[in-house]
Amino acid sequence: MGRGSVSKPLKVALLGAGVVGSQVARIILNEPDTLEQRIGRRLELVGIGVRNLDVPREGIDPALLTTDLDGLVSRGDLDVVVELIGGIEPAHALVQTAIEHGASVVTANKALLADELGPLSRAAQEKGVDLYYEAAVAGAIPIIRPLRESLVGDEITEVMGIVNGTTNYILDKMVTDHLSFDAALAEAQALGYAEADPTADVEGHDAAAKAAILAGLAFHTEVTRDEVFCEGITGITEAEIAAADQLGCTVKLLATAKLTSDAGSVIVKVHPAMVSRKHPLAAVSGARNAIFVNSREAGELMFVGAGAGGAPTASAVMGDVVTVARNRRRGTAGHVGAAYTHRPVAPIGESTAQFYVSFEVVDRPGVLARCAAVFGSHGVSLRVVQQSYLDDESSAEEHPARLGIMTHATQEARLSQVLSELREADFVGSQVRMMRVEGF
Amino acid sequence: MGRGSVSKPLKVALLGAGVVGSQVARIILNEPDTLEQRIGRRLELVGIGVRNLDVPREGIDPALLTTDLDGLVSRGDLDVVVELIGGIEPAHALVQTAIEHGASVVTANKALLADELGPLSRAAQEKGVDLYYEAAVAGAIPIIRPLRESLVGDEITEVMGIVNGTTNYILDKMVTDHLSFDAALAEAQALGYAEADPTADVEGHDAAAKAAILAGLAFHTEVTRDEVFCEGITGITEAEIAAADQLGCTVKLLATAKLTSDAGSVIVKVHPAMVSRKHPLAAVSGARNAIFVNSREAGELMFVGAGAGGAPTASAVMGDVVTVARNRRRGTAGHVGAAYTHRPVAPIGESTAQFYVSFEVVDRPGVLARCAAVFGSHGVSLRVVQQSYLDDESSAEEHPARLGIMTHATQEARLSQVLSELREADFVGSQVRMMRVEGF
Ligand SMILES: NC(=O)c1ccc[n+]([C@@H]2O[C@H](COP(=O)([O-])OP(=O)(O)OC[C@H]3O[C@@H](n4cnc5c(N)ncnc54)[C@H](OP(=O)(O)O)[C@@H]3O)[C@@H](O)[C@H]2O)c1
Ligand SMILES: NC(=O)c1ccc[n+]([C@@H]2O[C@H](COP(=O)([O-])OP(=O)(O)OC[C@H]3O[C@@H](n4cnc5c(N)ncnc54)[C@H](OP(=O)(O)O)[C@@H]3O)[C@@H](O)[C@H]2O)c1
């Protein structure tokens, strides 16, 4: 240890110098002594792979830059490859090549891991190298390490989180400022919280990738992105937001991974939910992320912090870089935590929840009873019924009313049958909407 | 891997089978297959050291019990020693002996670590064994691992937490049910949340031990319990609780470790504080614990969960047991994270905070101005002044009033000078009380 030591530095290659990569480069280049003290060996940044050599990059020696990323990761002398280009290809091939050439890998790439975590973990394990990815879920919030290590002597039963800051910002605006989805999205885009093409965020795909990673880790199994039930926030109406508020709830996009009661399978889902203001996740506002974990021994735990942004994400990446570099120095690799159970993902119909169902009816005598009978005939019992009259010119006897019904907890399959039946009933006068409810 | 494998099991000895130890024994004895899958080797519980062999211990084979703890840890064939007896001796000698004999150690003993973390870490490092202690601070909440690994590529500037459930419960009762300290303590004792001798909790000693551990880890230095400034909750008055409420604050016992602005030294302190209800720690109620971390890159992070209790603490202990057992299986040890800087603990006078000062005055014309002048003469500026009249029979011209003054942020040394001067002033009619303020 110490600058005077003769031990060779550890060689690091960085792939990508964008929002996150540029911050990682800054820390590695600006803090060599501190990092050396923490690792016990010096880090040497040997190359940075980018797409475009002409972009000016503050604080980075142009000689470090290359567009030959494949050549960089195949050098054969690398200790650590930090992948921060994102997307599936070429990131996937580059990470595989890095592992094949004996480098440990740190990545923040949730899209890649949601598809390939299992195979990449096995490849790393076979090569005796590390694969760390703390930044891939919830940015700066330490959640991967707590799941892989801190809670590994416990039985996790549920992981539920707000893992997408863009949608959390939009929903906040809808709830607090009574904006429509479109208006809130436009504001988020103007402020740079949402991208020009917001699909991955607002349709829940980004959250679904993170849910797949969390579910696999929490339940020691393999879950891929396409197995995750996913519903976005684009269809949420102002009426639903107002109804949630009346019920003491807010609306959040939740990513949930839950063990079924027999622990034989897992439910993994992303959807908007009415969250009771008494639930700790309800208070997590703006672009922050939060993850709530329930386990047999530890009970409820919650982790809150910045879910994205260059510097916060770089903090998580650098924690991994130091950890894998320490392992390198000692000639070892961390535990890869490969899945040892096969717990299939159960269909969403087997999921149990409370539901909020809303639709218009023609308020004739007996209609409420007929609605209630539809729920009852499928074994779904009602917890709260909201009824409000709509402005109209019709006779006093047959004016339209809006019904909002919160059920007790029930299987989603039963609720689907209720919805189908309501959609066909002649006394139902509008689109039937459903939202799941949490913590009520 | 698998039960049929020929690899020998890893030998574990447990010291203590009390509140936490009995739960750890239950998990090790009831979950052998799950633990084997997660570790890659079977665990064998070879002995449990206790004081009294006659206590009936559910689910534990009496043949495992011994009162010869020294003999147990000196067997020479142990892989892991789990120390859960608490206190300094014999725990200290037993942990040292275990390390000398080549065993990795897992402990939840904050009292021991607050005095001996440095020397024990160095002993473990020299022997190439692990020393893990996730359960020593904030029970089930993963905080040691995030500080040792997740945030090790970042610069932590502050760690602040509610790390003692007993005092948090008592303060909650004082705030919510308007109980006096004595009445709230009696209730906590009746419910088993406070011990018969509550000194370690209510005087802040338990929190101070945790603050020392957190400060050392966060700032890569060594801090011992006796260097921590420590003030308990026994003197808090109902008037202060009411004043806090008026200011939109609650009262919490905070453990804080902060880097000074030049990063050259650290402030480590435990004291009650008025905490703004806007601060995330204000909502942490009852026996829960929470730790708030501020760092240069990641910004604000918060961790919330059960800070004590047999099963939650056992969850944290078992996470460490699995981690050190995995290291053993691979013939390695984790990074001990020994201190590499020497950052002295600064005297409390160098600490900067806002303060709430309260006392009675005789409300003669000009008295408020004279009070303000005392603050002003020491460069302390006022942010809020509360004045309330007290019931009395005296003349309308000279009735006693109660002043509550919140300052802007200032050095504690200056505030102390203000307090001394007020205590000597002839227009001050009662004990001058001070409470620190956070997040206002
Ligand atoms: N941004 C966040 O807040 C955040 C949070 C958590 C996780 N992440 C993850 O971190 C990763 C990086 O995100 P980012 O926001 O930093 O992305 P970004 O700003 O788009 O940067 C991507 C970088 O990769 C380079 N790159 C992209 N494709 C390339 C190719 N085919 N060949 C060579 N270089 C290529 C780009 O080069 P040029 O500079 O030449 O264009 C750029 O430097 C992603 O996996 C993302 O999901 C990001
Ligand atoms: N309780 C919590 O919620 C909690 C939370 C976090 C951390 N911790 C820490 O965990 C540790 C254990 O706490 P605990 O609450 O489980 O304590 P406990 O209930 O008092 O149990 C202590 C155990 O150690 C044994 N023991 C004590 N002194 C001994 C001696 N000199 N020789 C042999 N055996 C001895 C006792 O034996 P007998 O059974 O024969 O009396 C008992 O089994 C402490 O360091 C504590 O600070 C506790």
What is the distance in A from the centroid of ligand 2 to the CA of B21? 7
What band does A420 get if pLDDT is binned at 50, 70 and 90? very high
What is the distance in A from the centroid of ligand 2 to the CA of A64? 56
Mean confidence (pLDDT) of chain A: 94
In the prediction, which pLDDT does B268 show? 98
In the prediction, which pLDDT does A392 show? 56
**Ligand 1 near A65 CB (within 6 A):** no
Asked whether the whole model's pTM tops 0.90, one would answer yes
Each residue's pLDDT tens digit, B83-92: 999 999 999 9
What is the distance in A from the centroid of ligand 2 to the CA of B84? 5
Each residue's pLDDT tens digit, B284-316: 998 899 999 999 999 999 999 999 999 999 999
Whether residues B330 and A332 touch (CB distance < 8 A) is answered with yes
**Ligand 2 near B57 CB (within 6 A):** no
Q: Are A95 and A71 in contact (CB under 8 A)?
A: no
Cis amide leading into B90 (omega within 30)? yes
Range of lowest pLDDT (A355-359, B4-8, B114-118, B183-187):
B4-8
In the prediction, which pLDDT does B199 show? 97
Q: Is B71 left (phi over 0), alpha (psi -120 to 50) or beta?
A: alpha
Provide, rounded to the nearest whole percent, the portion of chain A with pLDDT above 70.
96
Q: Are B307 and A298 in contact (CB under 8 A)?
A: no
- Nearest to residue A272, comparing CAs of A258, A255, A252? A252
Whole-number Å distance between alpha carbons of A38 and A30: 15
Ligand nearest to the CA of A164: 1
Q: Where are the beta strands (DSSP E) in A307-398?
A: 352-362, 382-389
A131/chain B closest Cα distance in angstroms: 14
Alpha carbon distances (Å) from A17 to A48, A71, B403: 7, 17, 57
**Ligand 1 near A88 CB (within 6 A):** no
Q: Are A363 and A145 in contact (CB under 8 A)?
A: no
Whole-number Å distance between alpha carbons of A131 and B9: 27
Residue whose CA is closest, atom 18 of ligand 1?
A18
B114/chain A closest Cα distance in angstroms: 21
Residue A14 token pair: 């960085």
Complex ipTM > 0.90: yes
Residue A172 token pair: 């906040």
Whole-number Å distance between alpha carbons of A294 and A157: 6
**Ligand 2 near B200 CB (within 6 A):** no
Mean confidence (pLDDT) of chain B: 94
DSSP 8-state secondary structure symbol assigned to residue A65? E
Over residues A224-241, mean pLDDT: 96
Whole-number Å distance between alpha carbons of A102 and B220: 31
Residue A175 token pair: 């709830």
In the prediction, which pLDDT does B391 show? 62
Over residues A185-209, mean pLDDT: 96
A326 Cβ under 8 Å from any chain B Cβ: yes
Provide, rounded to the nearest whole percent, the portion of chain A with pLDDT above 90.
89
What band does A395 get if pLDDT is binned at 50, 70 and 90? low
Nearest to B301 among A300, A305, A341 (CB): A305
Q: Is the pLDDT of residue B392 over 80?
A: no
Residue whose CA is closest, atom 41 of ligand 1?
A51
Over residues A169-182, mean pLDDT: 96
Catalytically annotated residue among A173, A210, A252, A269: A210
B183 Cβ under 8 Å from any chain A Cβ: no
Which CATH topology does A144-307 take?
Answer: Dihydrodipicolinate Reductase; domain 2 (3.30.360)
- CB-CB neighbors (< 8 A) of A316 in chain B: 150, 298
**Ligand 2 near B16 CB (within 6 A):** yes
Each residue's pLDDT tens digit, B236-258: 999 999 999 999 999 999 999 99
In the prediction, which pLDDT does B400 show? 83
Whether residues B322 and A280 touch (CB distance < 8 A) is answered with no
**Ligand 1 near A309 CB (within 6 A):** yes
Long-range contacts of B244-248 (CB under 8 A, 24+ apart): B244/B175, B244/B274, B244/B356, B244/B435, B245/B175, B246/B386, B247/B274, B247/B356, B247/B384, B247/B386, B247/B406, B247/B440, B248/B276, B248/B277, B248/B278
In the prediction, which pLDDT does B3 show? 44
Each residue's pLDDT tens digit, A90-137: 999 999 999 999 999 999 999 999 999 999 999 999 999 999 999 999
B326 Cβ under 8 Å from any chain A Cβ: yes
Whether residues B301 and A297 touch (CB distance < 8 A) is answered with no
Catalytically annotated residue among B11, B110, B173, B210: B210
What is the distance in A from the centroid of ligand 2 to the CA of B77? 24
Nearest to A38 among B35, B152, B303 (CB): B152
CATH 3.80.30.20 fits A349-438, yes or no: no
A150 Cβ under 8 Å from any chain B Cβ: yes
Each residue's pLDDT tens digit, B306-351: 999 999 999 999 999 999 999 999 888 887 767 889 999 999 999 9
Each residue's pLDDT tens digit, A308-333: 999 999 999 999 999 999 999 988 88
- State in Å, rounded, how far the first CA of chain B is from the last one: 55
Whether residues B146 and A142 touch (CB distance < 8 A) is answered with yes
Over residues A349-372, mean pLDDT: 92
What is the distance in A from the centroid of ligand 1 to the CA of A256? 26
In the prediction, which pLDDT does A359 show? 95
In the prediction, which pLDDT does A1 show? 41
- CB-CB neighbors (< 8 A) of B280 in chain A: 304
Q: Which helix (H) or strand (E) holds A93?
A: helix A91-100
Q: Is the pLDDT of residue B63 over 90?
A: yes
A130 Cβ under 8 Å from any chain B Cβ: no
B144-307 and B349-438 agree in CATH topology: no
Domain ranges of chain B: 10-139+311-330, 144-307, 349-438
Active site residue A210: yes
**Ligand 2 near B20 CB (within 6 A):** yes
What is the distance in A from the centroid of ligand 1 to the CA of A87? 8
Q: Is the pLDDT of residue A368 over 50?
A: yes
What band does A2 get if pLDDT is binned at 50, 70 and 90? very low
For A149, nearest residue in chain B (alpha carbons): B319
Ligand nearest to the CA of A312: 1
B318/chain A closest Cα distance in angstroms: 5
Beta bridge partners of A358: A404, A433
Nearest to A142 among B34, B38, B150 (CB): B150
Q: Is the pLDDT of residue B399 over 90?
A: no
Whether residues B298 and A318 touch (CB distance < 8 A) is answered with no
Whole-number Å distance between alpha carbons of B403 and B40: 65
Nearest to A319 among B134, B152, B303 (CB): B152
In the prediction, which pLDDT does A336 show? 73
Q: Are A305 and A162 in contact (CB under 8 A)?
A: no
Q: Is the pLDDT of residue A397 over 80?
A: no
Amino acid letter at B249?
C
- What is the 3-class SS of A193-238, one letter each residue? CCCCCCHHHHCCHHHHHHHHHHHHHHHCCCCCHHHCEECCCCCCCH
Taking the CA of residue A17 as centre, how many other CA atoms within 13 Å lie in the half-sphere pointing to its CB?
30
Alpha carbon distances (Å) from B48 to B9, B17, B52, B88: 17, 7, 11, 19
| Burial readout B332-368 (b: 16 or more C-beta within 10 A, e: otherwise) | bbbbbbebeeebebbebeebebbbbbbbbbebeeebb
Residue B250 token pair: 């609650």
CA A135 to chain centroid: 11
**Ligand 2 near B17 CB (within 6 A):** yes
In degrees and rounded to multiples of 5, residue B150 shows phi and psi of -60, -40
Each residue's pLDDT tens digit, B163-211: 999 999 999 999 999 999 999 999 999 999 999 999 999 999 999 999 9
Which CATH topology does A10-139+311-330 take?
Answer: Rossmann fold (3.40.50)
CB atoms within 10 A of CB A382: 14
Whether residues B35 and A134 touch (CB distance < 8 A) is answered with no
Alpha carbon distances (Å) from A88 to A83, A112, B302: 11, 5, 32
DSSP states along B386-398: EEEEPP--S-SSS
- State in Å, rounded, how far the first CA of chain A is from the last one: 55
A149 Cβ under 8 Å from any chain B Cβ: yes
Length of chain B: 440
Which A positions 18-77 lie with beta carbon below 8 A of chain B?
A: 23, 27, 34-35, 37-38
B153 Cβ under 8 Å from any chain A Cβ: yes
B16 Cβ under 8 Å from any chain A Cβ: no
